[in-house]
Structure 1
Amino acid sequence: MDIRKLPNLGALRAFEAAARQESFSRAAEELFVTHGAISHQIRALEEELGTPLFARHGKRVSLTPAGRTYAACVRDALLDIARATQALRAGARHERRLVLSTMPSFAARWLTPRIGRFIELHPQLEVELRCSISLIDFTRDDVDVVIRLGNGTWPGLHAEKVLDEVFFPACSPGFNGGKLPAQPGDLRHCTLLRSVDEPWQPWFEAAGIHDIPEPRSGILYEDSAMMLQAAIDGQGVALVRRSLATNDLAAGRLVRLFDIDSAYAWDYYFACPPALLKTQRVSAFRDWFMDEIALFRTEYMQLERAHTIAA
């Protein structure tokens, strides 16, 4: 079979529409052409095939038996082309679409202020950022990369530690009229903000304080970013994560209290299926993300030095 002898695709589209609508006028409306254009293309197709496809009854038309058989075959062939085209476009779009998943607090305070730089470097990618504290099932969920706190033991995944985490107290520089706690023990006289994920006792132990109980009153924040905002607004002293508080410390919206850290049990991990790591979109994001992590470490070290000098 010589594919070069196929009729003109435009004529076949006109014929399929006219056969389905059983009207040259409605086919013309569907294809955004004139009635005359449809009539001309079908007449030319009939001449090329050597057989009438429509019987004309004044302004009305009806398919001939040969036309009805041919219309079914042409419709199937055009549907196959349409499906193949859709699949190709979807595949190309999938390669341009990068879906990231991380915790709401990390997204709000760390990733969102920085992700614009990645988009500027890769404008061809469509980036979708999803926020969830739930674990991701890569076999079911439409996600390319996760950034999660954990221990990194996720079978079948490429998981690499990118950042450790520590806690320390911080508050607004205007908290308590600007009279900030001078010693860790002064916290017993302060409003201590509470979070589901950041209990105070580990930090109290690191600071050698044994007579301040875990706070039980006030709002218990489920999201660390919300508690951080409460501290910025001067509502109390928060035990903050280094990763979430650095931007606000650098901007002067928060002040770190004391040079005492308490370690967090989990670390931040970059994770994805090994096959996805080889794709251009995920590889590009990983390279950018690792550069941003290195920049973050440098920025925080500078903040720590400035805090030590000020203290």
Structure 2
Amino acid sequence: MTALKSFEAAARLNSFTLAADELNVTQGAISRQIKLLESILNVTLFDRKNQQVVLTEAGRYYAQHVAESLHYLKSAATQTIAFAQPGHQLHIGIVPAFGSRWIIPRLRGFASEYPQVHLRLSTISGGDLAFALDEFDIALVVGVGDWPKAMVHQLEKEELVAVAAPPWIEKFNIRSPGDLIGPPLLVHTDRPTLWSKWFDINDIDAGALVPAPLALEQIVMIIEAANAQLGAA
């Protein structure tokens, strides 16, 4: 399934790089999956010229049918839920912030459409998923999608946005992204490099960052700490 999804994205976007960005994996991972498919089918799917990839005639034919098949499988999986026996429990692993701010507000609509499905929600992180795949029917986590034993589907790309309480912003006279170098920055213990990535995205030489004297494991706690004026998040 991973190879088919990699091929579909590369064929649709005419680029291994763009496919890698969409699926949140490396370009090398896309290339390996395409080579695996070509080996299995014993046919060349892409012509590779001048660092560009172009579908062959066989590739165009295969791409059309793969896209249709993946769409059908996704639709079938969704509809199959409706056939669950009364009392069937769907165990979902979620990161707490996503669960409380996105999943919970939508549960009423799900329950109305699938009243026979009982949900069990448990917290999990992307780092835990590799060790807990057998525990969940579905897991919604943040990560690069590198879980070989799972069928992975990207929901959204992550967007990094810096936030802070208005009084804290005034206290440290924050007027531009660069002004965040120096004031205390709240740290996510599972993802300690987030601030470095954010500064890189904004083309800012962060140098030596000043972490707040408080490290937190959950995004929900980090948001509350920012509201309490303990640092920027």
Interval of TM-score (by shorter of Structure 1 and Structure 2):
0.5 to 0.7
Residues 176/120 of structure 1: CA separation in 2 closer, same or farther (3 Å cut): same
Say which of 108, 116, 128 aligns to 1:124.
Answer: 116
Residues 113/155 of structure 1: CA separation in 2 closer, same or farther (3 Å cut): same
Say which of 201, 205, 208 aligns to 1:206.
Answer: 201
Shift of 1:103: 1.9
Counterpart in the other structure of 2:186: 193
Gaps of 5+ in 2: 1-83
Shift of 1:211: 5.0
The equivalences for 1:83-162 within 5 A come to 92-93=85-86, 96-133=88-125, 134-135=128-129, 137-138=132-133, 140-141=134-135, 143-162=136-155
Gaps of 5+ in 1: 1-90, 239-311
Shift of 1:153: 4.1
Distance in 1 separating the partners of 2:165 and 2:212: 20
Residues 113/172 of structure 1: CA separation in 2 closer, same or farther (3 Å cut): farther
The one-letter code of the counterpart of 1:154 is: W
Rg comparison, structure with higher value: 1
Distance in 2 separating the partners of 1:202 and 1:156: 28
The one-letter code of the counterpart of 1:110 is: W
Shift of 1:163: 1.1
Aligned length, in residue pairs: 145
Shift of 1:93: 4.7
Distance in 1 separating the partners of 2:215 and 2:149: 36
The equivalences for 1:226-265 within 5 A come to 226-238=221-233
TM-score for the superposition, normalised by structure 1: 0.40
TM-score for the superposition, normalised by structure 2: 0.52
Distance in 1 separating the partners of 2:105 and 2:171: 28
User: Contact 2:188 / 2:222 at 8 angstroms: preserved in 1?
Assistant: yes
Residues 206/119 of structure 1: CA separation in 2 closer, same or farther (3 Å cut): same
Distance in 2 separating the partners of 1:188 and 1:150: 26
User: Contact 2:186 / 2:211 at 8 angstroms: preserved in 1?
Assistant: no
User: Contact 1:109 / 1:225 at 8 angstroms: preserved in 2?
Assistant: no
SS in 2 for 1:227: helix
The one-letter code of the counterpart of 1:147 is: L
The one-letter code of the counterpart of 2:198 is: W
User: Contact 2:182 / 2:210 at 8 angstroms: preserved in 1?
Assistant: no
Shift of 1:219: 0.3
Counterpart in the other structure of 1:170: 163
Aligned-residue sequence identity (percent) comes to: 24
Shift of 1:114: 2.7
* Cα RMSD after superposing both structures: 2.8
Shift of 1:227: 0.5
Residues 137/124 of structure 1: CA separation in 2 closer, same or farther (3 Å cut): same
The equivalences for 1:256-275 within 5 A come to none
